[in-house]
Amino acid sequence: MTPEALADLVRTTVAQLLADRGLDAAALPEQVTVERPRNPEHGDYATNIALQLAKKAGVAPRDFATWLAEALLTRAAIAKADVAGPGFLNLTIATEAQGAIVEDALKDGYGTGAELAGQKINLEFVSANPTGPIHLGGARWAAVGDALGRVLEARGAEVTREYYFNDAGAQIDRFVRSLIAAAKGEPAPEDGYAAPT
């Protein structure tokens, strides 16, 4: 469930609650705000809608928040609804409702398109350097390069990936000569790599 869908659900539930209790429907704002709470233990989202409209509706904010929490708990998308403080409402989204976003995206082909159809893209990305220290960047750029290739393919491009292993060429030749010299106890070649001290 997206924040926008949750805001719509809260707004329609508030509208129904106002009607069911004979309260002033003019108290309902055009938009309902839902936002992430500072403390994740308070739920997935929070809203202050009860504080916004309670006075206009002629009811205490905490009472309205309690009624709203009870009403929202009847909705399949809401797993938990807790009233906090003077009338804030903390909401936890049901697992099924969270997964529905992914299902909708896959069903609708989210991220796919044809604007790059017919284009050939040669995507080069860097590998780990075998002659230098191993670090996270060597793994990170492999993942980023592959992900970028998948995004380009999803948009219709024909992608060729080039991931260099750096296992051949002049640099590796110098590295091998340096290793052999070190194994024999000899100094590194002039163009080679010195052993760390």
| pLDDT tens per residue, range 56-83 | 888 999 999 999 999 999 999 999 999 9
Is residue 103 included in any domain, yes or no?
Answer: no
Confirm if 23 and 68 have CB atoms less than 8 A apart.
no
Looking at residue 180, its amino acid is: I
Confirm if 49 and 62 have CB atoms less than 8 A apart.
no
Six-digit token string for 81? 């609804």
Examine the fold and report which residue of 34, 64, 96 is the final residue of a domain before the chain moves on.
96
Examine the fold and report which residue of 63, 96, 129 is the final residue of a domain before the chain moves on.
96
pTM greater than 0.85 = no
| pLDDT score at 55 | 85
Determine which of 4-8, 30-34, 74-78, 170-174 has the lowest per-residue pLDDT on average: 170-174
Q: Using CA atoms, how far apart are residues 98 and 82, in angstroms rounded to an integer?
A: 19
For the chain, strand residue ranges (E) read: 45-47, 78-84, 88-93, 120-125, 158-163
Examine the fold and report which residue of 64, 96, 128 is the final residue of a domain before the chain moves on.
96
Is residue 117 included in any domain, yes or no?
Answer: yes
Is residue 104 included in any domain, yes or no?
Answer: no
Is residue 106 included in any domain, yes or no?
Answer: no
| pLDDT tens per residue, range 101-126 | 888 878 877 788 899 999 999 998 87
State the average pLDDT for the chain.
Answer: 87
Percent of the chain predicted with pLDDT > 90: 49
pLDDT band for 149, please (50, 70, 90 cuts): very high
| pLDDT score at 134 | 63
| pLDDT score at 110 | 79
DSSP β-bridge partners for residue 4: none
Is residue 108 included in any domain, yes or no?
Answer: no
Is residue 194 included in any domain, yes or no?
Answer: no
Six-digit token string for 54? 């309670």
Confirm if 113 and 91 have CB atoms less than 8 A apart.
no
Would you say residue 196 has pLDDT above 70? no
| pLDDT score at 104 | 80
Nearby residues of 136 by Cβ (< 8 Å), 6 or more positions away:
none
Q: Which domain holds residue 63?
A: 3-96
pLDDT band for 50, please (50, 70, 90 cuts): very high
| pLDDT score at 10 | 95
Q: Using CA atoms, how far apart are residues 25 and 56, in angstroms rounded to an integer?
A: 9
| pLDDT score at 118 | 94
| 74 in the same domain as 123 | no
Would you say residue 91 has pLDDT above 70? yes
DSSP β-bridge partners for residue 47: 89
What SS3 class is residue 2? coil
pLDDT band for 129, please (50, 70, 90 cuts): low
Six-digit token string for 128? 């780990």
Which CATH number fits the domain that encloses residue 12?
Answer: 3.30.1360.70
φ and ψ of 139, to 5 deg: -75, -40
Is residue 40 included in any domain, yes or no?
Answer: yes
| pLDDT score at 153 | 95
Total of domains in the chain: 2
| pLDDT score at 148 | 93
